[in-house]
Amino acid sequence: MSIPMCWTELNERKIVDPELIQEMENIVKKIQERLKAVFDRQKSYADLKRRDIEYSVGDKVFLKVSPWKKILRFDRKGKLSPRYIGLYVIIERIGQVAYHLALPSELQKIHDVFHISMLRRYKYDHSHVISTEDIEIRPDLSYEEERVKMVKELRNKRVPLVKVL
């Protein structure tokens, strides 16, 4: 007796043979076991690269800007557009992988709850803080620069670290 490949191949015949039903159930169980083995193997590969990220209330994070079209654009278009924007404070944790952020009024069109994959932790760096009191702007809107040191030197180009006076 041949086993039908698909239930639609039975046409109008009735299944009365309990052996056929048992054999089909065994085949389905075998397929499910093989799929589970494949799923577990792929999960083990993915878990090697995955890392658990948790933020607490009050942490400062950057928000990933979506590169898709027809979505609200921030600042510039194209490949020079920023990948992460702002410095936003986490207000609360919602569920296992979502966070509620305090967004400014310019971003009121955007929902303020984001998945953890859209956030990046802000690491404090004292060079990010620029005191506005040290900058003296002249009436013609110019300022004096003082070179502190060379940060990087390429073939024909030098990238200086400039201190604004």
pLDDT in tens, the chain (165 residues): 566 666 555 555 555 678 888 888 999 999 999 999 999 999 999 989 888 888 999 999 988 876 555 555 555 566 666 778 888 999 999 999 999 999 888 777 788 899 998 899 988 876 665 555 555 556 666 666 665 555 566 666 666 655 554
- The pLDDT of residue 165 is 46
The answer to whether residue 2 sits within a structural domain is: no
Lookup: tokens for 134: 């040290």
Do 116 and 98 share a structural domain? Answer: yes
Do 75 and 95 share a structural domain? Answer: yes
The answer to whether residue 64 sits within a structural domain is: yes
**Measured between alpha carbons, how far is residue 159 from residues 82, 128, 137 in Å?**
21, 18, 23
Number of domains in the chain: 3
> Who contacts 13 (Cβ-Cβ below 8 Å, separation ≥6)?
none
> Who contacts 160 (Cβ-Cβ below 8 Å, separation ≥6)?
147, 148, 149, 150, 151
pTM for the predicted model, two decimal places: 0.52
Do 109 and 70 share a structural domain? Answer: yes
**Whole-angstrom distance, CA of residue 149 vs CA of residue 156:** 17
- The pLDDT of residue 36 is 97
Do 120 and 66 share a structural domain? Answer: yes
